[in-house]
Amino acid sequence: MRQSLSEQQAATIYQYQLVKRKIIRPELVQSHILIAVIFVAFQLLMYGRAGLFSWLFGFAVIQVIHLIILLLTFIRVEEAADRRWVWGITPPWFGFKPANDIKLQLFRRVHRQLFWLGLCGTGILYPWISESLMISIICWHLWLIVPRLLLSIAFRKQKKEGILRLGKYEASYYHR
């Protein structure tokens, strides 16, 4: 009987062997979504309809900021396969994520840059936007990037040359 790749314990992909798999538990995904619900409730209580608008508009603004940062980051990347990212709303990978397997070093670098440049880009907008929109943008930015940073921390002891594969509810690290 043939097993899927995620069910195999010692899977090998193109000379790469599975070294570590991080399962993302459903409770963690549900709590992550619950944070967004609490956040919209806070915006509604504090700012009313303007808070709801800020909540929705802030999500769109942070997606644009993340897209700009990704495009600027990948100007220097030589391999076209490393540039292929897709946008999705599949928990816990909301927003942009790699479409294919990605080098762990590149994943870490991109998300570190997304984190810091996203905060800086949000700070640049500070003088021109309302308080509720500023709170929304910062909270959405953190909400989107924290699962990826936690994944980087989970694989921090692994060699940088390995490959990272993101599944729906798992992340797998492969190395030669």
Encode the chain (176 residues) as per-residue pLDDT tens digits.
455 655 666 655 567 788 888 888 889 899 999 999 999 999 999 999 999 999 999 999 999 988 888 888 777 665 544 567 788 888 888 888 888 888 888 888 888 888 998 899 888 988 899 999 999 999 999 999 998 898 888 888 887 788 888 888 888 888 87
> Distance from first CA to last CA of the chain, Å, rounded?
26
Asked if residue 5 lies in contact with residue 13, where contact means CB atoms within 8 angstroms, the answer is: yes
In whole angstroms, what is the distance from residue 172 CA to residue 120 CA? 31
- From the list 10, 6, 35, 4, the residue with the least C-alpha distance to 23 is 6
What contacts 164, CB < 8 A, 6 or more positions away? 98, 101, 102, 103, 104, 107, 155, 171, 172, 173, 174
In whole angstroms, what is the distance from residue 108 CA to residue 149 CA? 8
Q: 3-state class of 3 per DSSP?
A: coil
Asked if residue 122 lies in contact with residue 58, where contact means CB atoms within 8 angstroms, the answer is: no
In whole angstroms, what is the distance from residue 114 CA to residue 72 CA? 10
